[in-house]
Amino acid sequence: MVTSEPHTLQEGIEQAGHRLTYPRQAILDLVAQHPDGFTAEEVCAQLPQVGRATVYRTVKLLLDLGLVCKMTGPDGAPRYTLSVAGHHHHTLCVRCGAAADFQRCTVDLILQTLRAETAGVILGHRMEVYVLCPRCLEQEETTSSGSPT
Ligand SMILES: [Zn+2]
Ligand SMILES: [Zn+2]
Ligand SMILES: [Zn+2]
């Protein structure tokens, strides 16, 4: 486990011994502006001057360093958010893909009751909670009649 959380993505990259090249810096700046999540394609679209391969490689690096979290978006595409310290889960808006974190986790308690029935040892768990975010909920209410998506 990592004991000291990096203060910024930049520090995280440098602490891991990676050079902060211009494309990386540009990607990190963009990612930091999207606390509710982003896809690699969105980064590509917003940084046309950075090559697609570099974007994907950098996102993978951030993931490997534990600086971002990966989840599956409503369209099945991988989505990423900035990682927060400690064990946590994500909520994901099924409409717009906005992600948020929550740290209150009672899953381990549930798993304790499973322990007796589970062969082997439970090492961890993953969970994503799908929501309609406040923004999309508001939109839904203003359009009143539920139009099919
Ligand atoms: Zn996370
Ligand atoms: Zn939403
Ligand atoms: Zn949990």
For residue 3, being part of any structural domain is answered with no
Length of the chain in residues, anyone? 149
What's this model's pTM, rounded to 2 decimal places?
Answer: 0.78
Provide the domain count of the chain. Answer: 1
φ and ψ at residue 13, rounded to 5 degrees: -65, -45
Instruction: Give SS3 for 137.
Output: helix
Distance CA 81, CA 43 (A): 12
Query: How many Å lie between the centroid of ligand 3 and the Cα of residue 106?
Result: 7
Q: Which ligand is nearest to the CA of 127?
A: 3
Distance CA 103, CA 109 (A): 14
Chain segment 61-112, per-residue pLDDT in tens: 999 999 999 998 878 889 999 998 889 999 999 998 899 999 888 888 888 8
pLDDT, residue 149, reads 57
Which residue range(s) make up the domain with 114?
9-142
- Confirm if 97 and 117 have CB atoms less than 8 A apart: no
Q: Which ligand is nearest to the CA of 138?
A: 2
Q: Which ligand is nearest to the CA of 139?
A: 2
Nearby residues for ligand 3 (ion, Cβ within 5 Å):
105, 107
For residue 4, being part of any structural domain is answered with no
